[in-house]
Amino acid sequence: MPDVARPYAASNALEDTGQMPALFVRERQPTPSPPPRPTGPDFDRIQHGKEFVALRKTFRRFVFPMSLLFFTWYMMFVLLAAYAHDLMSRKVWGEVNVGILLGLGQFASTILITIAYLKFANKRLDPQVEQLRAAVGAGER
């Protein structure tokens, strides 16, 4: 861009573009760095090991069926609430109807699933995790 304060001054192409050469810059040669040393367990080897695969299989054997069961139960409740008004409003005793009982059943089933998972994890998963930790030398610090 020409200098408007000095219209007759000769302009420098580098000044016009704003790309002035850097001063006092040395070419740096990259210094080769030593390869990083592993500081912890080899997680890739652990993940593909037979112990971890067995642990995941045990975990999935509980979680997937239980999730499917709960999702089916929940969707049944939602669909009944949306389309079966006569059934859901049927009185059981006093002002308590089927809809209220099924809604409370959602809370109860969540608590029961949580308790079942805790028992399952304590009995089946935790021993496998401890064996895996011992095998790879990744004990608690």
For the stretch 22-71, pLDDT in tens is: 666 666 667 777 777 767 778 888 899 999 999 999 999 999 999 999 99
Rounded CA-CA distance 136/55 in Å is 14
Tell whether the model's pLDDT for residue 122 goes beyond 60.
Answer: yes
For position 13, what pLDDT does the model report? 59
Of 35 and 105, the one with more pLDDT:
105
Rounded CA-CA distance 141/71 in Å is 39
For position 109, what pLDDT does the model report? 97
For the stretch 80-99, pLDDT in tens is: 999 999 999 999 999 999 99
Rounded CA-CA distance 92/104 in Å is 14
The helix (H) or strand (E) run that includes residue 61 is helix 50-83
For position 5, what pLDDT does the model report? 62
Q: What is the pTM of this model?
A: 0.66
